[in-house]
């Protein structure tokens, strides 16, 4: 396993050696900045920037004259960049430039298949996000395109500069069933998501020319954050809605990759994804399939206009098979009719009716489950109180308590550790959340009243602690090495379980980014009550 400093050091050195990342040329950065709606750059300045790059000039003129962009009312062929900028608009120029650079690299014989596939996923997810935004509110369409284009920037960085390590990440995912962020952290010492978040990158490599070149907007960086909870909460701002759209588009692409062209898996997965985001926006399976169809057609138009060979791009092949109805099907399944209608109907019914009376259960299908944290906590405390009176096992009660905390807080994972009687080690027993089974194998530490690390301090003082940022100056030295090597989470909560001043256990729950855990007084009261119920359960067990 590399350290995050080693990983970033390799990438920094490669960049300094002028091994430029695909789609990130200096000219392209200038185009992106100058075509930003908030930029003071004029059309003249943008035109001048494009004209300084002969290759980009020809590409912009070519795309301005393709069937995808030009309209009959434009009065014939466009021969100047100035007119192209005027006709296409600033946003289209920026996105056209990004798209062209992507396709140039996809067509390169020097890039590995995996990188070409990742670039294509980024491009198609950008189209999906743009079309979804257009379907929902006709606003933020170009912002959705750009943010989605760079959603997987960390993965693209690693695939380009560290191909062997990227291969190991894929192996971990396939063999151990880990999600991408966990697998990449295990190999690189930093998750793909965090590698792509530019400000985090800048903090590690300083404020040199490289960091200056990567001046992504606040929108792009914010939208890189993944939604890990089973149901995404209702957005409270336009930026949150944009993040929902970008995440949805990229999760849809992940779904396509995971189907192996199986139309039934695709239908079930699409329904589950729509359910996950139903509090963010309303979209039907039929509408989404039409949007995917548009994205596929746009990619095929680009490929035809610019002589791109898509045969080696597995992602495109999978989409075509799913939409054309030529993917894997159950034996005897009817193949006639419009495949889009078939897929939509299947997706609408798969999670609730299914075939042969089988109901596929997912978090989205449990419509009667309460989502309000206060309701989850209040009803949960009552349920645990009832369980304490009934003849439930200690483990069953502790699991109930962990589940209530996990659902109410919406954290990434939650784990309870119990002290082993012989060797005085606090050892993870069970938990919930992201890759928790692989984490608990190594989540343990020696109990030492004199130790200064944050876990032992919480136990020694009997203090409930919120660690806002593990890299904050006063806290950094107290985060033990075993934790940094095991997890990539920057904020977490600790609730010690002590009886007669003797530490018997500790509850841990986390989120990936510093400052994400904000605990209101009402919530804290519920958490302390649940922890006290855990203590009572232990007392009853050993009474």
Interior/surface letters 132-154, b for 16+ CB within 10 angstroms, e for the rest: bbbbbeeebbbbbbbbbbbbbbb
Q: Are 41 and 31 in contact (CB under 8 A)?
A: no
Q: What is the pLDDT of residue 5?
A: 82
476 versus 85: the higher-pLDDT residue is: 476
Quick count: other Cβ atoms within 10 Å of Cβ 275? Answer: 19
Q: What is the pLDDT of residue 210?
A: 37
Q: How confident is the model at residue 39 (pLDDT cuts 50, 70, 90)?
A: low
User: How high does pLDDT run on average in the chain?
Assistant: 78
Crossing angle (nearest 10°) for helices 180-188 and 153-161: 40
Q: Does 21 have pLDDT greater than 80?
A: no
Q: What angle do CA 298, 304, 307 make, to 5 degrees?
A: 130
Q: What is the pLDDT of residue 330?
A: 42
Q: What is the pLDDT of residue 67?
A: 52
60 versus 298: the higher-pLDDT residue is: 298
Q: What is the pLDDT of residue 360?
A: 35
Residues 463 and 523: their CA atoms lie apart, in Å, by: 16
Residues 489 and 483: their CA atoms lie apart, in Å, by: 9
Q: What angle do CA 331, 333, 337 make, to 5 degrees?
A: 155
Q: Are 351 and 270 in contact (CB under 8 A)?
A: no
- Backbone φ and ψ for 127, nearest 5 degrees, come out as -65, -45
pLDDT tens profile 343-355 = 444 444 433 333 3
Q: Does 167 have pLDDT greater than 80?
A: yes
Cα–chain-centroid distance for residue 513?
Answer: 13
Non-local CB neighbours of 524 within 8 Å, separated by 6+ positions: 464
Q: What is the CA radius of gyration of the chain?
A: 26
Q: What is the pLDDT of residue 215?
A: 52
Q: Are 417 and 426 in contact (CB under 8 A)?
A: yes
Residue 313's closest CA among 155, 500, 173, 108? 108
In three-state secondary structure terms, 472 is coil
The arithmetic mean of pLDDT across residues 528-535, rounded, is 94
76 versus 175: the higher-pLDDT residue is: 175
Extract the runs of DSSP E, i.e. beta strands, from 396-518.
413-419, 425-433, 444-446, 465-467, 491-499, 502-511
Q: What is the pLDDT of residue 163?
A: 85
Q: What is the pLDDT of residue 352?
A: 35
DSSP-assigned letters across all residues of 484-504: HHH---SEEEEEEEEETTEEE
Q: Does 13 have pLDDT greater than 80?
A: no
- Backbone φ and ψ for 504, nearest 5 degrees, come out as -115, -20
pLDDT tens profile 215-264 = 566 788 888 888 878 889 899 999 999 999 999 999 999 999 888 888 88
Q: Does 358 have pLDDT greater than 60?
A: no
Cα torsion angle, 295, 299, 302, 304, sign: negative
Q: Does 367 have pLDDT greater than 90?
A: no
DSSP 8-state class, residue 242: H
Lowest mean pLDDT among 104-108, 411-415, 500-504: 104-108
Residue 155's closest CA among 121, 196, 190, 188? 196
142 versus 530: the higher-pLDDT residue is: 530
Residues 115 and 313: their CA atoms lie apart, in Å, by: 10
Q: Are 276 and 131 in contact (CB under 8 A)?
A: no
Q: What is the pLDDT of residue 347?
A: 45
Q: Does 184 have pLDDT greater than 50?
A: yes
Q: Does 27 have pLDDT greater than 70?
A: no
463 versus 206: the higher-pLDDT residue is: 463
The arithmetic mean of pLDDT across residues 371-388, rounded, is 85
Q: What is the pLDDT of residue 33?
A: 62
Q: How confident is the model at residue 326 (pLDDT cuts 50, 70, 90)?
A: low
Residues 134 and 142: their CA atoms lie apart, in Å, by: 9
146 versus 15: the higher-pLDDT residue is: 146
Strands 502-511 and 425-433: unpaired
Q: What is the pLDDT of residue 310?
A: 78
Non-local CB neighbours of 332 within 8 Å, separated by 6+ positions: none
Q: Are 504 and 418 in contact (CB under 8 A)?
A: yes
* % pLDDT > 90, the chain: 30
Q: Tokens in use for 384?
A: 């645990």
491 versus 2: the higher-pLDDT residue is: 491
Q: How confident is the model at residue 277 (pLDDT cuts 50, 70, 90)?
A: very high
Q: How confident is the model at residue 28 (pLDDT cuts 50, 70, 90)?
A: low
Q: Does 305 have pLDDT greater than 80?
A: no
68 versus 140: the higher-pLDDT residue is: 140
Q: Are 285 and 271 in contact (CB under 8 A)?
A: yes
Q: How confident is the model at residue 80 (pLDDT cuts 50, 70, 90)?
A: low
Quick count: other Cβ atoms within 10 Å of Cβ 449? Answer: 10
pLDDT tens profile 89-147 = 776 776 666 666 666 665 665 566 777 788 888 889 989 999 999 998 777 787 888 78
């Amino acid at each position: 396993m590399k350290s995050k400093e080693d990983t970033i050091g390799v990438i920094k050195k490669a960049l300094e050696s002028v091994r430029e990342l695909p789609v990130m040329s200096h000219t392209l950065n200038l185009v992106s900045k100058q075509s930003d709606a908030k930029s003071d750059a004029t059309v003249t300045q943008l035109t001048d920037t494009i004209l300084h790059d002969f290759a980009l000039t020809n590409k912009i003129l070519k795309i301005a004259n393709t069937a995808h962009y030009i309209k009959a009312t434009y009065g014939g062929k466009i021969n100047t960049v100035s007119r192209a900028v005027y006709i296409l608009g600033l946003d289209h120029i920026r996105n056209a430039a990004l798209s062209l650079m992507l396709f140039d690299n996809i067509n390169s014989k020097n890039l590995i298949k995996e990188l070409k596939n990742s670039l294509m996923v980024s491009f198609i997810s950008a189209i999906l996000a743009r079309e979804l935004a257009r379907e929902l509110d006709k606003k933020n369409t170009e912002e959705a395109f750009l943010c989605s284009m760079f959603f997987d920037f960390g993965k693209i960085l690693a695939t380009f500069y560290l191909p062997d390590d990227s291969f190991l990440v894929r192996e971990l995912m396939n063999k151990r069933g880990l999600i991408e962020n966990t697998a990449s952290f295990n190999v690189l010492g930093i998750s793909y998501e965090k590698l792509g978040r530019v400000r985090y990158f800048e903090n590690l490599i300083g404020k040199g020319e490289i960091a200056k070149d990567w001046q992504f907007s606040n929108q792009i960086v914010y939208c890189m954050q993944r939604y890990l909870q089973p149901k995404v909460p209702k957005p409270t701002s336009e930026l949150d809605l944009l993040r929902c759209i970008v995440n949805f588009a990229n999760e849809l692409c992940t779904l396509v990759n995971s189907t192996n062209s199986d139309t039934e898996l695709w239908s079930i997965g699409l329904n589950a994804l729509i359910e996950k985001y139903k509090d963010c926006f309303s979209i039907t399976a039929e509408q989404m399939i039409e949007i995917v169809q548009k994205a596929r057609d746009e990619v095929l138009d680009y490929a035809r206009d610019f002589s791109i060979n898509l045969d080696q791009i597995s992602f495109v092949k999978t989409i075509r098979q799913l939409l054309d109805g030529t993917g894997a099907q159950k034996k005897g399944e009817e193949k006639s009719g419009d495949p889009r209608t078939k897929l939509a109907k299947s997706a609408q019914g798969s999670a609730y009716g299914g075939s042969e009376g089988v109901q596929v259960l997912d978090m989205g299908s449990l419509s009667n489950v309460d989502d309000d944290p206060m309701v989850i906590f209040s009803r949960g405390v009552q349920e645990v109180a009832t369980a304490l009176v009934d003849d439930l096992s200690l483990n069953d009660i502790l699991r109930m308590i962990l589940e209530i905390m996990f659902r109410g807080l919406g954290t990434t994972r939650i784990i309870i550790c119990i002290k082993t009687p012989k060797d005085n080690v606090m050892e993870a027993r069970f938990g919930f959340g992201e890759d928790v089974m692989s984490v608990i194998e190594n989540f343990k530490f020696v109990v030492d009243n004199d130790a200064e690390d944050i876990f032992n301090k919480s136990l020694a003082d009997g203090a409930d602690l919120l660690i806002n940022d593990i890299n904050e100056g006063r806290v950094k030295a107290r985060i033990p090495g075993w934790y940094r090597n095991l997890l990539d989470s920057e904020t977490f909560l600790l609730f010690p379980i002590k009886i007669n001043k003797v530490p018997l256990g500790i509850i841990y729950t986390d989120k990936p980014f510093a400052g994400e855990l904000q605990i209101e007084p009402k919530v804290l009261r519920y958490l302390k009550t649940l922890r006290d119920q855990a203590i009572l359960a232990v007392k009853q067990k050993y009474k």
